[in-house]
Chain A
Amino acid sequence: MPIITLFSGVFCGKKTVLKNLKDRTGYKHVTDDDIVKQVELLTGLQESKIRRAFSSKTSVFNEFTHEKECSIAHMRLAVAEMLMDEELIIDGFSSLLIPGNIDHVLRVCLVAEMPYRVAQAKTNHLLDEKEAKRTIRQEDGDRAAWIEALHSNPDPWAGELYDMVIPMQGLDENQAGALIEEYLHKNVLHKTEPSEKAYENFLLSSRVQAVLCKAGHDVTADAKHGAVVVHINKHVLMLDRLEDELKSIAGKVPGVKSVATRVDMGYQRCNIYRKHEAGVPSRVLLVDDEREFVQTLSERLQLRDMGSAVVYDGKSALNIVKNDEPEVIIIDLKMPGIDGIGVLKKVKTERPDIEVVVLTGHGSEKDRQMCMDLGAFDYLQKPVDINHLSKVLKNAHKKIQGRVQGA
């Protein structure tokens, strides 16, 4: 019988769906709390500290002894050991530690649009609108950081991570529960031989990684039928000594038949240029009177490591240009007071080094031509694909960097 994992944004109705699902299936419920308690037993680290692995805020972990990596490695081990049981619902951050090739796991993610989430926060948690939005922003940030740490992809709602992504607006918990149950019955989620093997590999690699992390090593491990590969993720001068030590520790784990080590050069410490010219602008100013739209856009850019500030009218934009040093401005055309064209004109005459990207919902071909003639870097129509916008911003950044270097 299968295992269900449930991940969700904050205020997406997970609690009620979970209850409904438990009633329907009778499965045992495992939470992050259970996993964290287990990690506390395994590592001796404080529970409150382990919990901080789920937070994107400044780290409380001792980086010298790799406490955070050690916590996560033991979470992986705790989850792997839980999976020996079946008929489980694993809910929360730790559920995402299960590798995608274990097929007898149904991965469910609950999402919802902003108005639904704010309404949930108001009725169920008695938050006002501002508090609700702040909490959502912060919690989404935590989730993005967690996913990025595990999969190097900052999008916690990416479809490829799940078997089902359920949008909750317009559904009640009973309907959501029924959808999940239906999927469970329609798809044969029994343990197959490959799935069983994938699970054994997961369990063994988790055991090896945990024991190495506990000995103070920040490494990852793969396992295939007892053959373990330990990945060394950083440059070390005395590599032979390190490899000997890793092999000797890993070799003692029951079930390990052979150990190899591999140095992953991709993790080499960044050189100074890559660190500082990461290729994305660090100061983007967004100007748009559609507040909701522009705030969301700003958050999405921040997820992609682009620092951004938001103003709602042309006058404030020009003030910021005067006092601060934005690299790139993204601007709407239609705004009360000084409109986008006005800002574009003024910026390009007074501060031609700042690149301006026009992003508008109502532009014509004539508008486009005028903006480009006035020196806009690009002209985009709403709704804009975030990946495309990122690319445009990177190109603008490249142009600026090229100019600085040529100077």
Chain B
Amino acid sequence: MSKKNAILLAATELFSQKGYEGASMAELSRMTGAAGGTIFHHFKNKEDLFLNILRGIKEIILNSFDQYLEDGNLKNGMDMVEGAVSFYLQLASQMPTQFLLLHQHFPYKMAETNPVCRDYLESIYNCLLDNFEKGIVKGQKDGTIENVPARKCAMILFSMVDGIARFNTYQLYNAGALYDELIMMCRKMLRSDAYAPRG
């Protein structure tokens, strides 16, 4: 691993645990063994370091979804929605530190004044919501999903799934045990009467 990546990784951990104000560059230097000068050689300042992390998270999420859609064997719209739910939860459990960071308050506060930060966060949430919305629209065409407002429904569905992901990141409960019921609820919410469910 390059020194730069090692700094990014340790800083992600630090920001996710201590927030923006609480993360000190001296502590980062102790964690990575990189001198302060080395850190500021790679990143202009603390803000730049954080934005680099956020860009990294954005890229991973966008690429993973692209990859997932390419690989996916999705027969109809309902399958696509269920796939998006399952994929989001899997992503959250694969990148717990990054999701802990996304579940902090400060990035959204920063986005109010910092256009770069706003742009990254907007891309992340657009990507996530698009997948639910596309699934719903497709399902309405192929008759698996009822005629509901696709965009709004996608946001409600996403909030529900993201809430479950939070159950995991905040270690409230073993959220994995809720999975089957979550999928069942999604189906109930969206299912068109004309569509007979499997099983």
Contacts and interface: CB of A to CB of B under 8 A. Distances in A.
- Among A65, A66, A282, A407, find the residue whose CB has the most chain B CB atoms closer than 10 A: A65
A69 to B, nearest CB: 10
A277 B176 contact: no
B89 A400 contact: no
Given A63-B94, A272-B14, A217 B170 contact: no
Contact of A234 (B90, B171, B178, B180): B171
A325 B42 CA distance: 15
A407 B26 CA distance: 10
A404 interface: yes
A238 interface: yes
B75 to A, nearest CB: 16
B179 interface: yes
B33 interface: yes
A65 B181 CA distance: 12
Interface in B81-120: 86, 89-90, 92-94
A64 B91 CA distance: 8
Interface in B152-199: 168, 170-180
Contact of B31 (A65, A218, A272): A272
B126 interface: no
A64 B86 CA distance: 8
B182 to A, nearest CB: 10
B177 A236 contact: no
Contacts of B69: none
Contacts of A225: none
B35 A407 contact: yes
B49 interface: no
B10 interface: yes
Contact of B1 (A63, A64, A241, A282): A282
Q: Chain B at the A interface: mostly helix, strand, loop or mixed?
A: helix
- Taking residues whose C-beta sits less than 8 angstroms from the other chain, chain B's interface range is 20 to 34
Question: Which size class do A's interface residues fall under?
Answer: 20 to 34
Contacts of B92: 64
Nearest to A281: B33
B33 A62 contact: no
A325 B13 CA distance: 22
Contacts of A273: 31
B176 to A, nearest CB: 4
B3 to A, nearest CB: 6
A216 interface: yes
B29 interface: yes
Nearest to B91: A64
Contacts of A325: 3
Nearest to B96: A269
Given A236-B173, A272-B17, A307-B1, 17 more contacts: A62-B90, A62-B93, A64-B93, A64-B168, A64-B176, A65-B89, A66-B176, A216-B174, A216-B177, A217-B177, A236-B171, A241-B173, A242-B174, A272-B31, A275-B13, A276-B13, A407-B35
Instruction: Name the 8 nearest CB pairs between A and B, nearest first.
Output: A216-B177, A63-B93, A64-B89, A216-B176, A64-B93, A404-B33, A62-B90, A237-B172
Interface of B: 1, 3, 6, 10, 13-14, 17, 29-33, 35, 86, 89-90, 92-94, 168, 170-180
15 contacts: A63-B93, A64-B86, A64-B89, A64-B92, A64-B175, A66-B176, A216-B176, A216-B179, A236-B172, A245-B177, A272-B14, A273-B31, A276-B31, A307-B1, A404-B30
